[in-house]
Amino acid sequence: MEYRDSPEEARFRHEVRTFIRENLPEHFISPEYDEYQGPRTDEERALLGRWRKALGERGWIAPHWPKEYGGGGLTVSEQFVFNEEMAEARAPEVGGMGVQMIGPILILYGTAEQKQEHLPKITGGQVWWCQGYSEPGSGSDLASLQTRAVRDGDDYIINGQKIWTSGAHRANWMFLLARTDPDAPKHRGISMLLMDMRSPGVSVQPLINLANDHGFNQVFFDNVRVPARNLVGEENRGWYLGATLLDFERSNVRSSVALRHTVEELFEYAREHRKNGQRAQSVAVRHELVDRMVEANVSRLLSYRIISMQKHGVVPNYEASMNKLFYSETQQRVARTGMKLIGAYGLLDRDPKWAPLRGRVSHTYMTTLAMTIAAGTSEINRNVIATRGLGLPRG
């Protein structure tokens, strides 16, 4: 199979490429910029602001949202083209969880007041949202969560704890799941609430990861009052809101393009680095590099498969799990091969002078460990493929 654009897709691809060429600040394409860390200087923040403004003017901060809510109103295949081109250009993402997660839920289930208050700020890039789902005892088995929300007059009072909350230290708002009926079966006693992070009783404690980055946090609630008007959908129906995706392309093409970019960088390093005129890497490492390139291409094909299903109106199911499982495990294999290639230099963490590829290999080696846990662990994805894809009985 060869994936080709339809004439409309080709036209749209050209439009996106032209937009990127005219608006993406070059700084973001240079190795100076570390997307994982985000902007670190005033200059980087200003550049990112410029990029966000240009995207926002076209509704492209939220490309999959309907136009009436400030989105781009793109079809799934246009979203795919858009995401593929953004990834090829290494353009930074600006939407975050507001665009990807809570915005679509509010569009479908929010009150008029909630939409009016929150959606324009999300598409305007003015607020940062975080997701308060996981708890110390509840990750894969999320429905067992214990954080309580008890109705008290016009408010809910929240007590409990969330963990692994990405970006909570920067977030203005959190959408959270809390138990509102402890006596109901576990999926049926959960509600979704919108919480202002400045509410009294909220405390955020950093969790520093293996690579010394501050990405996620623990969040504690001590008698936090959340107005009852911030309940999303019906009380005790919060569990069922999580699956909302609008007409969202699910190919994750960005990740597969990023994989290929990393492998290409490793090839370039292998070509340039020689000892006494000889190649520096062993035959085994060369073969591994080739395997990684094959895998990066397979990952892209899995993305194409998903988009082709969606284009035909089929909702991807276990195929999305296959895709996530494969690219996240390939990310780890790529990082391991990279470490073998650069050898002892891999011990240098982002040392600008000596660390090859500005330390990205060793950094990726450490950060990709989390990729097979976040957004569904490899084991859970294998369970989904086994039962829904292969028809095996539940274990």
Ligand X SMILES: Cc1cc2nc3c(=O)[nH]c(=O)nc-3n(C[C@H](O)[C@H](O)[C@H](O)COP(=O)(O)OP(=O)(O)OC[C@H]3O[C@@H](n4cnc5c(N)ncnc54)[C@H](O)[C@@H]3O)c2cc1C
- Catalytic center residues: 249
Nearer to ligand X, 140 or 317 (CB): 140
CB of 237 to ligand X, least distance (A): 19
CB of 177 to ligand X, least distance (A): 8
Stretch that binds ligand X, among 29-37, 198-206, 367-375, 385-393 (CB under 6 A): 367-375
What three-state secondary structure class fits 380? helix
Nearer to ligand X, 116 or 203 (CB): 203
Cα angle 36, 18, 31 (rounded to 5 degrees) comes to 30
The residue with tokens 């860390």 is 37
Binding of ligand X at residue 377 (CB under 6 A)?
A: yes
Specify the DSSP class assigned to residue 373. T
Distance CA 347, CA 367 (A): 15
Nearer to ligand X, 131 or 251 (CB): 131
> Which residue's Cβ has the minimum distance to ligand X?
139
| Closest to 315 measured CA to CA, from 324, 323, 307, 325 | 307
Binding of ligand X at residue 381 (CB under 6 A)?
A: no
| Closest to 58 measured CA to CA, from 94, 28, 89, 84 | 94
Nearer to ligand X, 71 or 215 (CB): 215
303 exposed, middle or buried (CB, 10 Å; 0-12, 13-18, 19+)?
Answer: buried
Q: Which of residues 298-327 bind ligand X (CB under 6 A)?
A: none
Distance CA 173, CA 114 (A): 13
Q: Give me the DSSP letters along 12-51.
A: HHHHHHHHHHHHS-GGGTSTT--TTT---SHHHHHHHHHH
The alpha carbon torsion through 72, 103, 322, 216 (nearest 10 deg) reads 120
Number of Cβ within 10 Å of residue 136's Cβ equals 12
Stretch that binds ligand X, among 2-10, 29-37, 182-190, 378-386 (CB under 6 A): 378-386
Q: Which of residues 30-69 bind ligand X (CB under 6 A)?
A: none
Nearer to ligand X, 34 or 155 (CB): 34
Binding of ligand X at residue 216 (CB under 6 A)?
A: yes
Q: Which of 127, 143, 374, 386 binds ligand X (CB under 6 A)?
A: 374
Binding of ligand X at residue 100 (CB under 6 A)?
A: no
CB of 379 to ligand X, least distance (A): 3
CB of 235 to ligand X, least distance (A): 21
CB of 204 to ligand X, least distance (A): 12
The alpha carbon torsion through 131, 133, 134, 137 (nearest 10 deg) reads 160
Ramachandran angles phi, psi of 34, nearest 5°: -110, 100
Nearer to ligand X, 139 or 201 (CB): 139
Binding of ligand X at residue 383 (CB under 6 A)?
A: yes
Nearer to ligand X, 202 or 342 (CB): 202
The residue with tokens 């409990």 is 160
Q: Which of residues 133-192 bind ligand X (CB under 6 A)?
A: 133-134, 139-140, 164-166
CB of 131 to ligand X, least distance (A): 4
The alpha carbon torsion through 6, 81, 51, 107 (nearest 10 deg) reads 110
CB of 325 to ligand X, least distance (A): 11
Contact 182, 145 (CB under 8 A): no
- Position 375, amino acid: A
277-301 b/e with 16+ CB inside 10 Å = b? eeeebeeebeebbeebbebbeebbe
Number of Cβ within 10 Å of residue 339's Cβ equals 17
Cα 267 to the center of its chain, rounded Å: 27
Task: With CB under 6 A as the rule, give the number of residues binding ligand X.
Answer: 17
Stretch that binds ligand X, among 27-35, 51-59, 369-377, 385-393 (CB under 6 A): 369-377
CB of 99 to ligand X, least distance (A): 14
Nearer to ligand X, 106 or 325 (CB): 325
- List interacting residues with ligand X (CB under 6 A): 130-131, 133-134, 139-140, 164-166, 216, 370, 373-374, 377, 379-380, 383
